[in-house]
Amino acid sequence: MPSNKSVSDAPITQFVNCRILRDHSLQREDLWVREGKILNPEKLFFDEQGFADHKVDCGNKIIAPGFIDVQINGGYGVDFSQVTSDIKGGVALVARRILEHGVTSFCPTLVTSPPAIYKQVIPEVTLTDGGEEGAGVLGLHLEGPFISLEKRGAHPPQFLCSFEEGGMPDLLKIYGELENVAIVTMAPELANSGQAIRDLVRRGITVSLGHSMADLSKAEEAVQHGATFITHLFNAMLPFHHRDPGIVGLLTSDRLPADRTVYYGMIADGIHTHPAALRIAHRAHPAGLVLVTDAVPAMGLPAGRHTLGQQDIHIEGLHACVAGTTTLSGSIATMDMSVCVFGGCTVEEALEAASLHPAQLLGISHRKGTLDYGTDADFVILDDTLTVRETYIAGHLVWRK
Amino acid sequence: MRLVILDDYDLASEWAAKYIRNRIIQFRPSADKYFTLGLPTGSTPLGCYRKLIEYHKSGDLSFKYVKTFNMDEYVGLPRDHPESYHSYMWNNFFKHIDIEPQNTHILDGNAADLQAECETFEQIITAAGGIELFVGGIGPDGHIAFNEPGSSLVSRTRVKTLAKDTIVANARFFGNDLSKVPTMTLTVGVGTVMDAREVMILITGAHKAFALYKAIEEGVNHMWTVSAFQQHPRTIFVCDEDATLELRVKTVKYFKGLMHVHNQLVDPMHSMKHYKD
């Protein structure tokens, strides 16, 4: 048929025989892609009298938005918190390998480190779009060093910091710059944290509460200052208590700003959180659940001894602990595994916890995390067991099983 | 006329779809000879569209050489509004079949010059060689397309203001908010549909029974515009039992007795798989 498309002559691909996640449900619809974005076929039909150039038969599989991992410390031997001669190369390696898990965008995470590390690493990890070379970098997640000593978990105590006057000067003194940063995790009970939170939020950086001894009212205050995320709910915070719910209480707090949603990260490896606890959180506040891997450099590597930040880790099976202790230090479950393990809810909810919600958290859901018309064509094709079969970024196939 | 009576909605939809299928296939449409098909919207034809989509997906029916002409469209409703007839046709029919976009014709209710849009529509129909088969429905007030009671029986495509009955009937598609229902439409005229070589009217449900009675058992009357087809040489009314509730027993018995003749039109079912080229 002759081409008389009025908007663009770029080739159009139509994915047929599939179920796509749209409007919170799996619908029997075709997915149309042009120039790296999801295309509105009705507009194409009536406005441009256009048609597809290629059709891809998906064999009745599921198409979901590409997964977004906002907490990943490394993998395949790469440790984001270590200075190497090729920091960019390390990030790129992980970016390429996580395509296998359906992750199309991620936030490389740095654990508590000395200022020297931040000053060398942060400028090197630039935002990227993602493509055949690997998943896109949305920005760094700085987990620490402004965290609680008691709740440091696997973070090295000698590098923890507190705020002097609070605010940007303290942050820049430690981090050097915040150019490539998307998320900062801190403990709100630290003095002067409020100013730091406000300054970060004003710069467009998401503030997360974690590794903290804060009670609920301190946490609510932090949300009022602008915090919108909780780092790995349940882990590294006071346990839920019925007379003082702690940070966990944010999920059902009635003292939050009306228009604010508080999101919470959960490591769904079946180890960091009991599935029943995961379900309690989910049922209390389903819209806020964000699946994260919190994967350590050992993810993807065989069992044994490896490095995370400034410490040594021991891997056995699906467990990663600080060497010589039973303290968990991140997980080695992958994002697609997490989506599968996260039972007790619908397929749509599991998929959204890995795509839509992280996109909403970072304020980018107008271009990522959904299959809405006009958004970036980053998506995964899954079979009914939610195993990733193909990964696409900007409409291009970047990985196939 | 032929009055084809089936037991229920699904059977009526299927009969109508089979008829359309056979008509298209036996016409042997090609690049030099398109099959021109007039199409309705609304809830009545949904079952028929579903069957036609089935026939397409099974490989028996292609719409590659079919040109379609819809009866009407709301004025002033954005084209991508979920209740526009463009959206209806896309979601319920076009997106599931192999029809080419330039072969579909729906009146543009947002045209700068509505009068010119209507005239152009008539010209496109003429240029396409006229309509081979016009499929339509009937309103509770006996209207064909949006030719409300009082419309001229020789009318052409034009702008029409909707009757209160129709606005109320359509409110269910606009959240039951009468203020949101469009009040004007572009519609083919009674005369436009009468020009078609064949007309098929789908009527199902008890709420349409009185209109059917007025249309076929009473006289030709501009208050019940479907009655105009009493003067068309080839009209088929396809209905379910419920739609016949207001007819005389004699009428129903007569036409039911003819079903073996009517069924010869749909049996055997033809298929494009068996074209010998």
CA distance A388 to chain B (A): 27
A291-327: pLDDT as tens digits? 999 998 888 887 888 776 667 888 887 787 888 888 8
Cβ-defined contact of B86 to A43 (cutoff 8 Å): no
ipTM (interface predicted TM): 0.89
Tokens of A264: 């919470």
**CA A401 – CA A181 distance, rounded (Å):** 32
Percent of chain A with pLDDT over 70: 97
What SS3 class is residue B201? strand
**CA A124 – CA A357 distance, rounded (Å):** 27
Contact residues on chain A for B102, CB-CB shorter than 8 A: 4, 49
Contact residues on chain A for B31, CB-CB shorter than 8 A: none
User: What is the arithmetic mean of pLDDT over A219-223?
Assistant: 97
Contacts of B260 (CB under 8 A, 6+ apart): none
User: What is the arithmetic mean of pLDDT over A330-347?
Assistant: 80
Using 50, 70 and 90 to split pLDDT, how confident is the model at A3? very low
The verdict on A1 touching B (C-beta cutoff 8 Å) is yes
User: What is the arithmetic mean of pLDDT over A203-220?
Assistant: 96
Q: What does R_g of chain A's alpha carbons equal in angstroms?
A: 21
Q: How far is CA B254 from CA B64, B241, B242, in A?
A: 39, 14, 17
What SS3 class is residue B212? helix
Nearest to B101 among A30, A40, A51 (CB): A51
Q: Answer yes or no: is A211 a known binding residue.
A: yes
pLDDT at A1: 45
User: What is the arithmetic mean of pLDDT over B212-238?
Assistant: 96
- Asked whether the CA dihedral A264, A268, A270, A276 is positive or negative, the reply is positive
Tokens of B210: 């009185």
pLDDT at A391 over 50: yes
Q: How far is CA A351 from CA A66, A79, A106, A280, in A?
A: 9, 27, 16, 18
Contacts of A23 (CB under 8 A, 6+ apart): none
- Percentage helix, strand, coil for chain B under 3-state DSSP, each rounded to 5: 45, 20, 40
User: What is the arithmetic mean of pLDDT over B93-100?
Assistant: 95
A126-171: pLDDT as tens digits? 999 999 999 999 999 999 899 999 999 888 999 999 998 878 999 9
Q: Which of A379 and A334 is assigned the larger pLDDT?
A: A379
Q: Answer yes or no: is A10 a known binding residue.
A: no
Instruction: Check: CB of residue A273 under 8 Å from CB of residue A341.
Output: no
In the beta sheet, which residues pair with residue A19? A62
Tokens 């076009």 belong to: B94
CA-nearest residue of chain B to A48? B101
Percent of chain A with pLDDT over 90: 76
Instruction: Check: CB of residue B138 under 8 Å from CB of residue B123.
Output: no
Q: Is B176 exposed, middle or buried (0-12, 13-18, 19+ CB in 10 A)?
A: exposed
Q: What predicted TM-score, i.e. pTM, was given to this entire model?
A: 0.89
Amino acid (1-letter code) at residue B140: P
CA distance A49 to chain B (A): 5
**CA A248 – CA A246 distance, rounded (Å):** 5
Q: Is B141 among the catalytic positions?
A: yes
Tokens 């509730």 belong to: B245
Q: Answer yes or no: is A8 a known binding residue.
A: no
Contact residues on chain A for B80, CB-CB shorter than 8 A: 40, 42-43
Of A258, A210, A24, nearest to A112 by C-alpha is A210
Amino acid (1-letter code) at residue A223: V
- DSSP E strands in A74-162: the ranges are 74-75, 78-79, 103-110, 136-137, 140-143
Cβ-defined contact of A46 to B102 (cutoff 8 Å): no
Catalytic residue among B72, B132, B195, B241: B72
pLDDT at A9: 83
Please state whether beta strands A31-34 and A12-22 pair in parallel, antiparallel, or not at all (unpaired).
antiparallel
pLDDT at A316: 82
pLDDT at A304: 83
CA-nearest residue of chain B to A1? B100
A34-73: pLDDT as tens digits? 999 999 999 999 999 988 999 999 999 999 999 999 999 9
What SS3 class is residue B62? coil
Using 50, 70 and 90 to split pLDDT, how confident is the model at B62? very high
Contact residues on chain A for B87, CB-CB shorter than 8 A: 42
B212-222: pLDDT as tens digits? 999 999 999 99
CA distance A46 to chain B (A): 7
Q: Answer yes or no: is A235 a known binding residue.
A: yes
**What's the full length of chain A, in residues?**
401
Percent of chain B with pLDDT over 90: 89
DSSP string, A173-224: HHHS--TTEEEEEE-TTSTTHHHHHHHHHHTT-EEEE-SB---HHHHHHHHH
Q: Which of A9 and A364 is assigned the larger pLDDT?
A: A364
Instruction: Check: CB of residue B156 under 8 Å from CB of residue B238.
Output: no
Ordered alpha helix ranges (H), chain B: 9-27, 46-57, 85-92, 114-127, 164-170, 190-194, 209-216, 249-257, 259-262
**CA A292 – CA B235 distance, rounded (Å):** 65
Percent of chain B with pLDDT over 70: 99
**CA A381 – CA A393 distance, rounded (Å):** 12
Of A285, A235, A284, nearest to A260 by C-alpha is A285
Tokens of A360: 């909403």
Cβ-defined contact of A51 to B87 (cutoff 8 Å): no
Q: Answer yes or no: is A34 a known binding residue.
A: no
Cβ-defined contact of A51 to B86 (cutoff 8 Å): no
Amino acid (1-letter code) at residue A82: Q
Cβ-defined contact of A45 to B80 (cutoff 8 Å): no
Catalytic residue among A199, A269, A294, A378: A294
Contact residues on chain B for A51, CB-CB shorter than 8 A: 100-101
Give B85's Cβ-side CA count (13 Å radius): 27
Number of H helices, E strands in chain B: 9, 10
The kind and range of the H/E element at A239 are none
Q: What is the DSSP letter of A85?
A: S
**CA B15 – CA B267 distance, rounded (Å):** 10
CA distance B89 to chain A (A): 10
Cβ-defined contact of B86 to A46 (cutoff 8 Å): yes
Amino acid (1-letter code) at residue B98: D
Q: Which of residues 33-72 of A touch B (CB under 8 A)?
A: 40-43, 45-46, 48-51
Q: Is B56 among the catalytic positions?
A: no
Give B176's Cβ-side CA count (13 Å radius): 0
pLDDT at A4: 47
pLDDT at A344 over 60: no
CA distance A378 to chain B (A): 23
Using 50, 70 and 90 to split pLDDT, how confident is the model at A256? very high
Nearest to B80 among A1, A42, A50 (CB): A42
